[in-house]
């Protein structure tokens, strides 16, 4: 079984989300987060990111990365307010070494993976 840390941080966009939340405090808007992640992905400034690039990253965050980070209890995502924040109990490096939450383990078992 791959380590939890590898699974969570194998995608650069998830790493960027966590780094931004740690560096800038929380909560942040999904738009602000999307702009930052798009700029990091393209190795440019936020000012150089187009609305289309930001929207593309925003969709990927909403449908792929934020749910994964929520499942591992690293962040909280409040869709009705469009906000993302670090989970209350997130303590940095030690959190990504623990076992996946029970809900994630059950999902993996139902998919035939561990």
Q: Where are the domains of the chain?
A: 4-110
**Lowest-confidence range among 46-50, 71-75, 87-91?**
87-91
pLDDT tens digits, residue range 56-84?
Answer: 999 999 999 999 999 988 999 999 999 99
Q: Is the pLDDT of residue 95 over 50?
A: no
| Residue with the larger pLDDT of the pair 80 and 105 | 80
Region for residue 90 given its phi and psi (left: phi exceeds 0; alpha: psi -120 to 50; beta: otherwise) = beta
Taking CA 17 as the corner, what is the angle to CA 81 and CA 63, rounded to the nearest 5 degrees? 60
Q: What is the pLDDT of residue 37?
A: 96
Question: pLDDT tens digits, residue range 2-41?
Answer: 677 787 888 999 999 999 999 987 799 999 999 999 999 9
Residue 86: enclosing H or E segment and its boundaries? strand 83-86
Query: H/E/C letters for each residue in 23-51?
Result: HHCCCEEHHHHHHHHHHHHHCCCHHHCCH
Smallest Cα–Cα separation from 54: which of 62, 23, 20? Answer: 62
Whether 37 and 16 have beta carbons less than 8 Å apart is answered as: yes
Q: Which residue has the higher pLDDT, 111 or 70?
A: 70
Say what the pLDDT of residue 8 is: 80
């Amino acid at each position: 079984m791959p380590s939890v840390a590898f699974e969570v941080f194998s995608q650069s966009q998830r790493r960027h989300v966590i780094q931004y939340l740690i560096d800038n405090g929380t909560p942040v808007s999904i738009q602000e987060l999307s702009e930052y992640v798009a700029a990091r992905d393209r190795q440019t400034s936020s000012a150089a990111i187009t609305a289309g690039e930001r929207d593309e990253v925003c969709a990927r965050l909403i449908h792929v990365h934020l749910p994964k980070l929520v499942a591992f209890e690293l962040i909280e995502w409040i869709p009705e307010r469009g906000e993302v924040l670090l989970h209350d109990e997130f303590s940095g490096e030690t959190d990504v070494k623990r076992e996946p939450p029970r809900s994630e383990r059950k999902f993996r078992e139902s998919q035939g993976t561990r």
